[in-house]
């Protein structure tokens, strides 16, 4: 894989290098909830028939209710599907991306002929024909206030705000705001619900922009099972509230364990944490020998990102692996 588009979840690479089988490993290289929403049996028609407008509308309405969305929404096959389509909404120009961040935005815009500029501060996005902010950011959890993002929309052509990790942090979300006509918000289903394989996401924004995306996505952009499962999971408010509280506790627990191993926390969200380990490659290799996979980054020799373990047995294994890294007291 191109080093500019590396991703977490590449367990095959870990196995090729360190051995074992998928069942031996705990994959903490992504920010996916490892205690997923419990999937019930799905209606037979979700598998047998083409996805219907009724099923699509039900999933969209469940998302709008769960996130308090005022305006329209569009369902797609994950936030990634939206990322591939967004550069086609306007003629190529200058695309500014608040970085470092999820690398697929730069790749998608560059592939469509845009001049990509990665910038370190939001004010450097002013004047761009398209601008991208991931909020909370991946991998460092950087947050911008919703009001600052609305103000930024007035200084760019199209503003894209990726809220794929916002479910545990609703206070930073624009989902419930009245959005300017040039602002699109991306939301992921699979990360918070722990069901990334479902491939479901949503775009929030002005009706004309969503219609343009829908035309480019074509018919049936989301499978029937994904629509049925998403509608049911998004309607489960009790599970959502319990999970937000649990993830906050677990993030604090992981930070304490990392600190005991001599790592310093650089930020993150309630779905992943970013640490300065001093030597990320060495730290990743030591965890890998315990069959725990983590994420390192080509632009930093010291950053290592960990998702949160799920069942208690995973915490026990990580505790043991980190304990072997503790510096002498």
Residue-level pLDDT at 2: 44
Q: For residue 222, tell me if it sits in a domain.
A: yes
Residue 209 sits in the same domain as residue 76: yes
Angle at 267 between CA 141 and CA 173, to 5 degrees: 30
Residue-level pLDDT at 1: 36
Residue 254 sits in the same domain as residue 200: no
Q: How many domains does the chain have?
A: 2
Query: Under a CB-based contact definition with an 8 Å cutoff, are residues 60 and 227 in contact?
Result: no
pTM: 0.96
Q: For residue 262, tell me if it sits in a domain.
A: yes
Distance between start and end Cα atoms, the chain:
41
Residue 319 sits in the same domain as residue 195: no
Residue 77 sits in the same domain as residue 114: yes
Domain boundary among 235, 251, 272: 235
Residue-level pLDDT at 3: 39
Which residues in the chain show pLDDT less than 50? 1-3, 327-329
Residue 9 sits in the same domain as residue 114: no
Residues paired with 213 in a beta bridge: none
Which domain, by its residues, includes 283?
3-30+238-323
Residue 14 sits in the same domain as residue 63: no
Pairing of strands 201-204, 73-76: antiparallel
Residue 223 sits in the same domain as residue 244: no
Residue 184 sits in the same domain as residue 307: no
Residue 160 sits in the same domain as residue 178: yes
Q: Strands of the chain (E only): list them.
A: 26-27, 73-76, 94-98, 115-119, 130-134, 158-162, 183-188, 201-204, 264-268, 272-276, 292-293, 295-297, 300-307
């Amino acid at each position: 894989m191109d080093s500019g588009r590396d991703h977490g979840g590449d367990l095959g690479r870990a196995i090729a290098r360190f051995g074992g089988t998928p069942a031996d490993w705990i994959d903490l290289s992504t920010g996916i909830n490892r205690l997923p929403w419990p999937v019930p049996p799905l209606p037979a028609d979700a598998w047998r028939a083409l996805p219907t407008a009724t099923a699509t509308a039900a999933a969209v309405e469940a998302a709008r209710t769960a996130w308090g969305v005022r305006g329209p929404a569009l369902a797609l096959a994950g936030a990634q599907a939206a990322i591939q389509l967004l550069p086609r909404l306007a003629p190529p120009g200058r695309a500014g991306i608040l970085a470092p961040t999820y690398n697929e935005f730069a790749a998608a815009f560059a592939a469509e002929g845009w001049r990509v500029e990665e910038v370190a501060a939001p004010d450097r996005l002013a004047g761009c024909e398209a601008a991208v902010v991931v909020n909370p950011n991946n991998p460092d959890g950087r947050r911008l206030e919703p009001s600052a993002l609305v103000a930024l929309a007035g200084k760019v052509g199209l503003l894209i705000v990726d809220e794929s990790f916002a479910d545990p942090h609703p206070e930073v979300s624009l989902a419930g705001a009245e959005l300017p006509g040039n602002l699109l918000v991306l939301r992921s289903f699979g990360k918070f619900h722990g069901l990334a394989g479902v491939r479901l996401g949503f775009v929030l924004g002005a009706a004309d922009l969503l219609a343009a995306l829908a035309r480019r996505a074509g018919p049936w952009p989301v499978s029937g099972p994904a629509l049925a499962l998403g509608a049911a999971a998004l309607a489960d408010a009790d599970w959502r509230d319990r999970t937000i509280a649990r993830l906050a506790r677990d993030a604090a627990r992981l930070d304490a364990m990392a600190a005991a191993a001599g790592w310093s926390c650089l930020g993150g969200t309630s779905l992943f944490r970013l640490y300065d380990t001093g030597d990320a490659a060495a730290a990743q290799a030591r965890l890998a020998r315990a069959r725990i996979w983590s994420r390192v980054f080509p632009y930093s020799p010291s950053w290592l990102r960990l998702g949160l373990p799920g069942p208690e047995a995973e915490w026990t294994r990580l505790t043991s692996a980190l304990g072997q890294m503790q510096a002498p007291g």
